[in-house]
Amino acid sequence: MSATATATASAAGTLGASVGASVGASAAAPAPALFQDAAAPGATDPGAPAATATPSATRRVGEVILEVSNITLSFGGVKALNDISFDVREHEIRAIIGPNGAGKSSMLNCINGVYQPQAGRVLFRGEDVRLLSPRTRLRRMAEMGVARTFQNLALFKGMSVLDNIMSGRNLRMRTGLFAQAFRNPWWSPAEREETAHREHVERIIDFLEIQAHRKTPVGRLPYGLQKRVDLGRALAMEPRVLLLDEPMAGMNVEEKQDMCRFILDVNDEFGTTIVLIEHDMGVVMDISDRVVVLDYGRKIGDGKPDEVRANEDVIRAYLGASH
Ligand SMILES: Nc1ncnc2c1ncn2[C@@H]1O[C@H](COP(=O)(O)OP(=O)(O)OP(=O)(O)O)[C@@H](O)[C@H]1O
């Protein structure tokens, strides 16, 4: 075998490494209903087996929900994204991968409206928020159902698990500060609303199996559980699209298996579309429907895991041979 062929084979092996068997083995009982009114088109029936390492075969991937067209984003002289286009279909798990500095996080920030690209547009369910002010843009994307988790956790470390997840409900709270401040101590709309939000948060806590930690300050939890709380806070927004920025970074194998299972459950049971940045190729290849590959701000691959795994440009980028 030539040197190139050997290198190619070894990179393909790395890209193909799998956590599948163990993820499936760790699957627990089906999670409780999280969104009471969620009639997810891909929802599993109660008798169906719990999540396995791959998305459920009964799940239906729908129409394009998110369209990224010709995005270019520069920071001074650095072109973080260069003419990037791809789409995301409803209910699918879409991974964005690439070496460090490829532009993955910048891409998520363009999708949820944190960054305004110099060129191109992001359409979410046909709506373009480019012309809104930065603050309104962010709020509108959240209102439409785009939630995100962060690579470096953005949790309130001194606050309890419950309060951190509750903070994700802010957008859904209808009663204003005035009503909250002057509420009738016995019963009021504000009181009723808070009770409903707390019940919702408790369901998320059950779903993520963190009941034992609900009153613990987040900063005292192991890192893997903190990542779970971060997911819980995003779920509290009842997202239609969940943007996950390296949800398994810094986790041990067991924590990764748990997180894989939760991601699959969220996608499968509630029909939530997932856009995922992840460096663990075994996880990406196991759980993604389609993968887009960035390298130095350019798109070098896009397709099903098997197609991406066999893509010479992708293999070269992961070997560092293309630079
Ligand atoms: N706020 C910023 N200001 C200046 N440059 C930035 C900023 N954010 C990102 N960059 C640059 O843009 C490029 C893409 O960064 P980005 O964080 O999007 O990559 P990434 O693929 O998410 O990397 P990693 O896997 O290491 O998190 C890098 O060269 C980075 O230094």
Domains annotated for the chain, with CATH where assigned, are 3-145+239-319 (3.40.50.300), 159-233 (no CATH)
Average pLDDT of the chain, as a whole number: 80
- Ligand 1 in contact with 317 (CB < 6 A)? no
Angle of helix 223-235 relative to helix 189-207, nearest 10 degrees, comes to 130
Q: How many A from CA of 104 to the centre of ligand 1? A: 8
Q: How many A from CA of 279 to the centre of ligand 1? A: 15
- Segment 98-103 shows an average pLDDT of 94
Report which of residues 48 and 59 the model is more confident about.
59
Whether pLDDT at 27 is above 70: no
- Band of pLDDT at residue 132, cut at 50, 70 and 90: confident
Q: How many A from CA of 280 to the centre of ligand 1? A: 19
- Ligand 1 in contact with 75 (CB < 6 A)? yes
Q: Is 286 helix (H, G, I), strand (E, B) or coil?
A: helix
Of 45-59, 80-94, 193-207, 308-322, the range with the highest mean pLDDT is 80-94
Nearest CA to ligand 1 atom 8: 106
How far apart (Å, rounded) are the C-alpha atoms in residues 106 and 81? 8
Nearest CA to ligand 1 atom 31: 101
- Band of pLDDT at residue 270, cut at 50, 70 and 90: confident
- Ligand 1 in contact with 100 (CB < 6 A)? yes
How far apart (Å, rounded) are the C-alpha atoms in residues 314 and 318? 6
- Ligand 1 in contact with 98 (CB < 6 A)? yes
Of 256, 249, 288, 292, nearest to 19 by C-alpha is 256
21-35, 255-269, 280-294: the lowest-pLDDT one: 21-35
Q: How many A from CA of 297 to the centre of ligand 1? A: 9
Nearest CA to ligand 1 atom 24: 100
Report which of residues 286 and 321 the model is more confident about.
286
- Band of pLDDT at residue 128, cut at 50, 70 and 90: confident
Q: What is the atom index within ligand 1 of the atom nearest the CA of 279?
A: 25
Q: How many A from CA of 296 to the centre of ligand 1? A: 10
pLDDT of residue 293: 96
Nearest CA to ligand 1 atom 7: 75
pLDDT of residue 319: 72
Report which of residues 180 and 75 the model is more confident about.
75
Residues facing residue 79 across a β-bridge: 74
Tell me: the pLDDT tens digits for 196-253? 888 989 999 999 999 999 999 999 999 889 999 999 999 999 999 999 999 998 889 9
Whether pLDDT at 36 is above 80: no
Q: Is 103 helix (H, G, I), strand (E, B) or coil?
A: coil
ipTM for the predicted complex comes to 0.97
pLDDT of residue 180: 55
How far apart (Å, rounded) are the C-alpha atoms in residues 265 and 271? 9
| Cα radius of gyration rounded to whole Å, the chain | 20
Nearest CA to ligand 1 atom 29: 101
pLDDT of residue 42: 34
Residues facing residue 294 across a β-bridge: 299
The DSSP 8-state label assigned to residue 20 in this structure reads: H
Q: How many A from CA of 122 to the centre of ligand 1? A: 19
pLDDT of residue 189: 66
- Segment 175-190 shows an average pLDDT of 57
- Band of pLDDT at residue 53, cut at 50, 70 and 90: low
Q: How many A from CA of 225 to the centre of ligand 1? A: 26
Nearest CA to ligand 1 atom 12: 80
Nearest CA to ligand 1 atom 2: 75
pLDDT of residue 4: 41
- Band of pLDDT at residue 134, cut at 50, 70 and 90: confident
Whether pLDDT at 29 is above 60: no
How far apart (Å, rounded) are the C-alpha atoms in residues 151 and 173? 27
Of 246, 227, 243, nearest to 98 by C-alpha is 246
Strand pairing class (273-277; 241-245): parallel
Report which of residues 99 and 42 the model is more confident about.
99
- Ligand 1 in contact with 78 (CB < 6 A)? yes
User: Which tokens belong to 80?
Assistant: 């973080």
- N- to C-terminal Cα separation, the chain: 24
Tell me: the pLDDT tens digits for 137-168? 888 888 899 999 887 777 888 999 999 999 88
141-155, 218-232, 280-294, 309-323: the lowest-pLDDT one: 309-323
